[in-house]
Structure 1
Amino acid sequence: SSWYGGPSGEFLRATDNRLGFSYGAAANNTINFPFKNNLIGSLSYVTGSHNVKVGFENSWARETAVRNTNGNLYRNYGDDPNPFGVSLPWLTSDLPQAGANVADGLAPGLIGDPETVSVLNDPNLTRTDVNYDLGIYAQDAWTIDRLTINYGVRLDMADSSIPALYKPAGRFGTAIDFGDTSIFPNPVDFPAWGPDFSPRFSLAYDAFGNGRTALKFGLNRYINAYGLSFTNRYQPAYRDQENRLWNDITLGADGLLPSGCTRMNPSACADPYGTNGDNIPQDWEIGALARSGFGIRETDRPGPNYSRGYQDLLTIGIQQEVRPGLSVSAEWRRRWYRNVENRDNTLRSYSDFSDPINVVAPLPYVGTIPVYNIDPAVRSLVEEIDRNYEGGGGFKNQYTGFELSFQGRLAGGGSIFGGWSTDTPGTSWFSGGGLINACPLRLEVEDNPNQLRFCNAFDYPTPFRHEFKVAGNYPLPWYDLMVAGTIIANAGGYSGSNNPETMSFTRTSNTYRAPWWNSDNCTGTCVLGEGIITNANGGVVSPTVGTSTSSTTLTLLPGNSVKFPPYWIQMDASIAKTIDLGGRIRWEVRMEGFNLTNAGFERSSRGSRG
């Protein structure tokens, strides 16, 4: 049955390399049922010199998600023209997606050749629970003359679980009872984290005793946030997908194209069901399952003694009142990331890789790049354990930043604030910002020696990133209108540099590069299924040279070889009016404009060489 496909497959999702975009149905239909409760309490005691506060925060949550996809698959099309002449009727020649077809003199909407389908294990039902996420704290602000000392401590504890669920059968997945211990004898054992100890300490000193100049210092610890996303890492009923053969042609009993049948010449292929070329993937056209365990996550799990990471933050600053209603501040920050997480494939080590092959770096780079190839027998072995880095070896992960800011009140009731900030940008090794020496971590897990290249970002100079911002609001004297605006000079992030170096070899074959004559385009003397060539079917077909390629991504520059795009200025503005409707009801009417200058920058680029 192909009820899910619609006319010519338009009810199914498609990714088309020839046209360069995706179309059809939505990628998936997901319905989330979130639930969260918070319980918060505190008690304060205030005297002339002390301000003591104790309290707690606790939350527990649950999220259930139901996911499904029409047909339980996505279609994937290649670069060649569709051999069956299938076109998108709404894609006209003036659209950029039609460029390849227009250049080849073909119908503008001619889609690519069917290559694979990405099959999904839908329908999918998951649930994750946070049983508790509890924090207990005590703090005091102690004032001694011109010095205020803030000190305290916080204890954090958390636990989560995944209840056993029943997953219904789908088109490509069987029904699964995740509570069946004969199938899943070792459910995930989540760590009950804590109590984790976080000290807090800061100082504020009135330098001249007039309340206008404050010197500040702080050294505080913060436990990494915890929630449902952590638990979902180990969800056994996760959404899975796999690419399988699909040429829109009926396959043989072995799940392959029958002998003498090729996707380049579909007229030579048997069509017992009359579905070849209908642009809908039927079950008899889809290749066999390529791997076991489809739709079941069996290996990912937290290791023993796995604990929460945390960050230590050092701040040094000064705040100065310039005049009543206007102050400026400066602050330097250093953040250290501690107890970092490390995912280790325990079934892989450096001994599973070959001796390095030295690949000549492409111009303008010089020298060679060592590339290590993994033993094919080990490539598919996966048993990943999450644990904390055990330390040593010079591991370091830190962030440095500085901020100069101001804030003030304007005559007439308006306000303005802004400033300048500079910091070390995140590198390709770590998305949280700052620099990392990941070499000790890479050596500890021994998963891939290719990752040792440029693994210490501290060995290479890294420029600081600078950003500027000014924002404010002001009440107009007419009709109680309020205007607001923001101007940001954005460094635009950074772009690291690596290079996908493609190694190719050639083979000689007699091939047609599509399209083929079919009942729609054959209007004269032609042979259905034969290729359309320059001299029609009576011409001489010369051997053509095709290429088969394999590729690996080689890192040509350190991950912190930061290249900043030109600054781009973004300006936002709004105007609003609040209307009092009486009682406690107010109505706010607001008009907003974002990026009014339509500024932007090039975030990525692609290039090739031959």
Structure 2
Amino acid sequence: DTVLSTMTGISPRQDLDRGSYTTVVASASYVTGSHNLKTGIQFRKGYFQESFQMNGDMVQILQNGVPTSVRIYNTPLTHREDVNPDLGWFLQDSWRLNRRLSLNLGLRFDRMAMSIPAQGAPGGAWVGPRSFPELNDVVSWNTWSPRIGFAWDVFGNSKTAIKGGISKYDVLEGSSLAQNVNPNFIAFSTCPWTSLTAPTPGQALTGCTGFSGNNNHIDPNMKRPYQWEYTVMIQRQIGANTSVSVGYYGRKFFDLFGVINTAVTPDDYTPLTFTSAAIGQPLTVFNQLPSTLGKINLLQKTLPSLYEHYNGVEFQLNTRIQKASVFAGFTIGKDYGTPSGTSTDFNNPNNLYNYAGNEGYDQTYQLRAGFTYQLPGKIAFAGSLRENSGLPQNRTYTVSNSDLASQGIKLTQVTQALIVAAPGAYRYPWQNLLDLRFSRVFRIHERWSIEPMADLFNTFNSSAVTSAVTAIGPSLLRPSNIDMGRLLRLGGRITF
């Protein structure tokens, strides 16, 4: 039920995953005078395989208890994708120019290639037997990533330092890119169905959206996404045992990719305005032209309209006071942008509604602190504190034909989800987590020691909600995850 966010009946599907990868890592260093050179390779090759079995090859969709549609699946199937290879070569040098200035220089080359071996699947309730030929070079990327960093002792007395750098990083990828265009991957078609009695296998269904299946493609000119990271920090020693610092951190992403259905363009949608009783305000939904229903040709490509950037400032304090040491850091930052990836059709204007906002892991304020203290009896007492503002929430509303009944219009795509509030307009509660540890080392021999430990996690027993139902309806904001409750763990370490 997409309104109540509930699931009834047996588990809809079973998965069986299997994979195998061969990894080789090697490096060599050469140190001479003011240079510390290092070079190496990182090599990975293997495959990922997954089997899907849907119970009945179908799931029925309801809205607040009212049946609206069924999703029929192309199962059973077993898909496989190969990574051959994921190769990286790097060269770096720590170069001390003089007593006050050092440089850290680096260059990395990466090659990423993926393929899909020949495979097939037996027939199911809604599809017949299938076979697919091998697909080579589904992705074939060669990229270079430079890096430069510096550390400058401003006055030459080792008390004031300015550090910074500019670095390029490729976005990590696995076999999921090949999965997205594997014609043997799991897919479903949504069909209108208003009876509580589900259709029988093989029954003729009309008005279905169609399977994506072998209609998924990757643009041969799609680039590998990457980011540039910019950092600068000023660090100052105050007194004999205290240092403070302030730093700026910036990240900007480039060549992000998304999916467009080239068979249905933005001009194939007509705007309709209605007032939702659940929200009490006018909404606009874009209705797909009936003549385009079931037309699918998904193209995964680099989209210049997609972006993401982060800017943050961090303050840090480190100090030692007799038997204690204290660390504290406070960060103010903002991660803003648009969604990217393969789950959204960017030719569908409904998916561009409030789609830009604070990204999923954006936390405006973050406080991190920790301490250690030597209690009497050689008992070590330590703690860590994590405080941060909550993650951004979405607000979604699923439009159905009942919303448009007063206008006498039928929604071609059966249902349509809308983001009615931009990510970040609502947030989860502030988190406050304190963890404590007590430990004591007992030396029982010159080479043997025993250290019993007692850890208390979430000392304040915080129950802040970390995820909840964000679909507008009776279950809105019903928690699905909260902070783990207070936990006492007793353990130990034996060293020999």
Shorter-normalised TM range = 0.7 to 0.9
Tell me the SS of whatever aligns to 1:233: helix
The answer as to 2:157 corresponding to 1:157 is no
Structure-to-structure mapping, 1:533-544, within 5 angstroms: none
Decide whether the 8 Å contact of 1:193 with 1:308 is kept in 2. yes
Q: Point out where structure 2 has 5 or more consecutive residues left out of the alignment.
A: 408-413, 475-496
Superposed CA offset, 1:88-134 (max 9, x none): xxxxxxxxxxxxxxxxxxxxxxxxx8886654444331222111111
Structure-to-structure mapping, 1:107-126, within 5 angstroms: 118-126=71-79
Decide whether the 8 Å contact of 1:240 with 1:294 is kept in 2. no
Aligned match of 1:333: 249
- With 594-603 and 47-56 compared, the bigger mean Cα shift is at 594-603
The one-letter amino acid paired with 2:160 is: T
Decide whether the 8 Å contact of 1:361 with 1:556 is kept in 2. no
Which protein is richer in strand relative to its size? 2
TM-score, scaled relative to structure 1: 0.63
Structure-to-structure mapping, 1:201-240, within 5 angstroms: 201-240=148-187
Decide whether the 8 Å contact of 1:191 with 1:307 is kept in 2. no
Decide whether the 8 Å contact of 1:425 with 1:493 is kept in 2. no
Aligned match of 1:130: 83
Distance 2:12 2:439 in 1: 38
TM-score, scaled relative to structure 2: 0.75
Find 1:489's aligned residue among 372, 387, 400: 387
Find 2:339's aligned residue among 430, 440, 452: 430
The answer as to 2:340 corresponding to 1:404 is no
Aligned match of 1:53: 38
- Structure 1 residues 325, 381: closer, same or farther in 2, change over 3 A? farther
Aligned match of 1:88: none
Tell me the SS of whatever aligns to 1:599: coil
Find 1:192's aligned residue among 140, 144, 153: 140
Tell me the SS of whatever aligns to 1:503: helix
- Structure 1 residues 129, 453: closer, same or farther in 2, change over 3 A? closer
Tell me the SS of whatever aligns to 2:139: coil
Tell me the SS of whatever aligns to 1:298: helix
Tell me the SS of whatever aligns to 1:382: coil
- Structure 1 residues 166, 497: closer, same or farther in 2, change over 3 A? closer
Distance 2:205 2:431 in 1: 49
Superposed CA offset, 1:195-241 (max 9, x none): x1111111110112122221012111111112122222222221234
Aligned match of 1:107: none
Distance 2:93 2:395 in 1: 49
The answer as to 2:461 corresponding to 1:597 is yes
CA RMSD between the two structures: 4.4
TM-superposed CA distance for 1:421, in Å, is 0.7
Tell me the SS of whatever aligns to 1:336: strand
- Structure 1 residues 141, 351: closer, same or farther in 2, change over 3 A? same
The one-letter amino acid paired with 2:108 is: R
Aligned match of 2:370: 471
Structure-to-structure mapping, 1:516-555, within 5 angstroms: none
- With 341-350 and 564-573 compared, the bigger mean Cα shift is at 564-573
TM-superposed CA distance for 1:588, in Å, is 7.2
Tell me the SS of whatever aligns to 1:562: strand
Distance 2:277 2:195 in 1: 36
The one-letter amino acid paired with 2:365 is: H
Aligned match of 2:328: 418
Distance 1:496 1:73 in 2: 28
Q: Point out where structure 1 has 5 or more consecutive residues left out of the alignment.
A: 1-14, 81-112, 182-186, 256-282, 433-441, 508-549
Decide whether the 8 Å contact of 1:130 with 1:161 is kept in 2. yes
TM-superposed CA distance for 1:599, in Å, is 3.2
Decide whether the 8 Å contact of 2:212 with 2:296 is kept in 1. no
Decide whether the 8 Å contact of 1:425 with 1:494 is kept in 2. no
Distance 2:13 2:285 in 1: 38
Distance 1:295 1:457 in 2: 31
TM-superposed CA distance for 1:375, in Å, is 1.6
Distance 2:175 2:382 in 1: 37
TM-superposed CA distance for 1:317, in Å, is 0.9
- With 482-491 and 45-54 compared, the bigger mean Cα shift is at 482-491
**Count of paired positions:** 457
Decide whether the 8 Å contact of 1:349 with 1:446 is kept in 2. no
Distance 2:444 2:50 in 1: 41
Find 1:300's aligned residue among 213, 216, 230: 216
Distance 1:451 1:69 in 2: 28
TM-superposed CA distance for 1:325, in Å, is 5.2
Distance 1:197 1:475 in 2: 49
TM-superposed CA distance for 1:327, in Å, is 3.1
